[in-house]
Amino acid sequence: MKWSYVNRWIFDKPLKNRTSLNIYEVDKCLGFGAYGMIYLCTDKRSGKKYVVKQLRPSKGKKQRECERFKDEAALLRKIEHPAVPALIEEFKIGTLHYYVMEYVEGDNIEDLLFFQNQKFTEIEALDLMTQLLSIINYLHQHKIFHLDIRPPNVLVREGIVYLIDFGLAKQVEDEEKEMSNYRQDDYYDLGQILLFLLYSEFKGKKSKKRTWLEELTLHPATVKLLKKLLGISEPYTNGDKIENDLKSVREALKK
């Protein structure tokens, strides 16, 4: 057994329900990441719900990982967007590091697609991606790149999209080549999520021998959009062009 898994079992056991973390009480563990454990907690003073992220104790033994966790919190503090849960505070208990975020009660796209079997029409999928692109554009304008835009990290609440988990995010200063690569990574992830949503209505039998171009029946403008997002054809270089193309294909589908 690899030592990383041994450490996880020995040092990284989740906190029990009703554990106190300063003014917060743990309701339940929401999940695990490579570096952190996520809890739904209640502020014992106000009764309000929050999300508390804990750096894995095994990671907290390394100074580099502690600094990385602090950098993640510092990056979140710079983001002021209604679709990104805000950082509330940071604290430390003994040697354990935590930070607190707003709680958004919603379903992530992974759960909607694979556990709830929710279906999305082409126009519904494009509408959600338009919202997600708006968040991405805001981040890129501030030279922040998420780099982990996956179905579990995109929440939907009453039709509104939220982006979470900035554990791999980076802010880059004046390195255009690096920013261009990171920008393309976020656009590629956007294309992948759009493809997941579009496959929700696919009724045939998937085949390793066929590509999505053969399996899905889509508006030509959607196909063109996806090809550019996924780098199959000349990729997008900025979010404004993606926004314009999304708007055009949505208008065409609504006619």
Catalytic annotation, pick one of 43, 127, 148, 245: 148
pLDDT of residue 149: 98
Q: pLDDT tens-digit profile of 70-93?
A: 999 999 999 999 999 999 999 999
**Do residues 182 and 147 make contact, with C-beta atoms less than 8 angstroms apart?**
yes
Residue 186 annotated among the catalytic residues of the structure: no
Whole-number average pLDDT of the chain: 93
**Do residues 137 and 243 make contact, with C-beta atoms less than 8 angstroms apart?**
yes
**Do residues 28 and 40 make contact, with C-beta atoms less than 8 angstroms apart?**
yes
Question: Where does the pLDDT of residue 4 fall: very low under 50, low under 70, confident under 90, or very high at 90 and above?
Answer: low
pLDDT of residue 3: 45
Annotated binding site for ATP: 53
Annotated binding site: 53
The dihedrals phi and psi of 233, each to the nearest 5 degrees, come to: -115, -175
pLDDT of residue 125: 98
Question: Where does the pLDDT of residue 178 fall: very low under 50, low under 70, confident under 90, or very high at 90 and above?
Answer: confident
pLDDT of residue 58: 87
b (16+ CB within 10 A) / e for 234-250: ebbeebeebbebbeebb
DSSP state of 152: G
Q: What is the mean pLDDT of residues 34-38?
A: 87
Put simply, whether the predicted model's pTM sits higher than 0.85 gets the answer: yes
State yes or no: pLDDT of 63 exceeds 50: yes
Q: Domains in the chain, please, with CATH?
A: 3-102 (3.30.200.20), 107-254 (1.10.510.10)
**In this prediction, what percent of the chain has a pLDDT beyond 90?**
83
Q: What is the mean pLDDT of residues 235-251?
A: 96
State yes or no: pLDDT of 108 exceeds 80: yes
